[in-house]
Amino acid sequence: MLNNRTRRRLLHHILLGLGSVTLTVIFMQLFPKRDFISRVSIGTAYPALFLTAAALMLGPLNVLRRKANPVSFDLRRDLGIWAGISALAHTAIGLNVHLRGRMWLYFVDENHHLRWDAFGFGNYTGAVAALLFALLLVLSNDISLRKLGVERWKSLQRWAYAAVVLTAGHAIAYQQIEKRIAPFQMVLYVVLGIVFAFQIAGALKVRDSTNVASGVAAPSS
């Protein structure tokens, strides 16, 4: 018999998996003139973006709602797992879009020189972000938490913020490279803005709570 937690997590994964596939198909349909590989690449990019944003907003949301914010909780972990799966799928497929099998040319030119243009920047940031997502996926389980201990595990999990910054750089670069129309650019910037706002609001709330707990009076308005 499955316990309550296992059933709950199984439900999370079913819903998140179906949601990821559905979003992928929806965004594929929004680019009908592109070839199939390009459409799948674009389609997997947006679930990765939305799931990563959702995972990053849960912690600050708990803080703002004055709810317990444990080191790890299942919904955030499961969102992160599917964000990582979507991000890695996007990376694997995306490396076959522009140069069709010649993956090294995403990072060096025909003369084997590093790319210093927007195309290179977008690819370097995307590749490093993918490596960080892979690391986070490996850590997203109870065994890793027990073996590493809370402090070390949490310090490694904080690389998620670097992954998000790199993902933002990658996404912004490709918006320009592929000359995306304004509505798609707006989706990206709105999502990034919401995540940034939640992080700032959560940090300010924690700071205020810490000041109150330590007896530091808040400045009068």
Mind listing the pLDDT tens digit for each residue in 122-165? 999 999 999 999 999 999 988 999 999 989 999 999 899 999 99
The structure's pTM equals 0.87
Does residue 213 have a pLDDT over 70? no
Which residue bears the tokens 């890793």? 144
pLDDT at 86: 95
The distance of Cα 139 from the centroid of its chain, to the nearest Å, equals 15
Q: What was the pLDDT predicted at 218? A: 46
pLDDT at 208: 78
pLDDT of 216 higher than 70? no
In the DSSP assignment, the letter for residue 114 is B
Task: Give the CA angle between residues 9, 188, 203 to the nearest 5°.
Answer: 65
DSSP-derived secondary structure for 116-170: -SHHHHHHHHHHHHHHHHHHHHHH-SHHHHHHH-HHHHHHHHTHHHHHHHHHHHH
- The mean pLDDT value for 69-98 works out to 89
Give whole-number Cα distances, 71 to 65, 74, 124, 151, 197, in Å: 17, 10, 31, 9, 21
